[in-house]
């Protein structure tokens, strides 16, 4: 299993969620976060300070076979071609438990 984490511009999140659903993901978690990237939140060469910008973080756990498709769907829908479009990373998940039923791993997805 894989955990796909995406940190994106808040105004494109609804479109990205639809892309994730269309790509076959069965659920996700979203959170409002703040942060900065290579531009330190300024949109120009780095300065000694950073500006924390609003972003939305999506976390999606998928089967290994679905990870590339879901990550690519996020990247395609989130790409505006401008600074601050975000980042996506994929991590390995060792185990998942559905609390309500006790199901584990692929059955819990």
Which residues partner with 6 through β-bridges? 58, 88
Measuring CA to CA, how many Å separate 28 from each of 6, 25, 39, 67, 82? 11, 8, 28, 13, 25
46: pLDDT strictly greater than 70: no
Residue whose token pair is 């105004």: 11
What pLDDT score was predicted for residue 37? 86
Residue 17 has pLDDT above 70, yes or no: yes
Band of residue 40 on the pLDDT scale cut at 50, 70, 90: confident
Summary mean pLDDT of the chain: 93
**Which residue did the predictor score with more confidence, 44 or 9?**
9
Give CA–CA dist 1/18, Å, rounded.
21
> Where do the domains of the chain lie?
2-108
In the predicted model, what is the mean pLDDT of residues 10-38?
95
The CATH classification of domain 2-108, taken from the options 1.10.3810.10, 3.30.70.120, 3.30.43.10, 3.30.830.10:
3.30.70.120
């Amino acid at each position: 299993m894989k955990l796909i984490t995406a940190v994106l511009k808040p105004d494109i999140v609804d479109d990205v969620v639809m892309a994730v659903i269309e790509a076959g993901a069965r659920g996700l978690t979203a959170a409002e976060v703040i942060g900065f990237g290579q531009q330190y939140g300024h949109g120009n060469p780095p300065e000694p300070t950073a500006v924390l910008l609003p972003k939305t973080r999506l976390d999606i756990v998928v089967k290994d076979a679905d990870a590339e498709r879901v990550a690519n769907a996020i990247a395609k829908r989130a790409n505006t071609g401008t600074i601050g479009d975000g980042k996506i990373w994929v991590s390995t998940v060792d185990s998942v438990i559905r609390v309500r039923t006790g199901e584990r791993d692929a059955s819990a997805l």
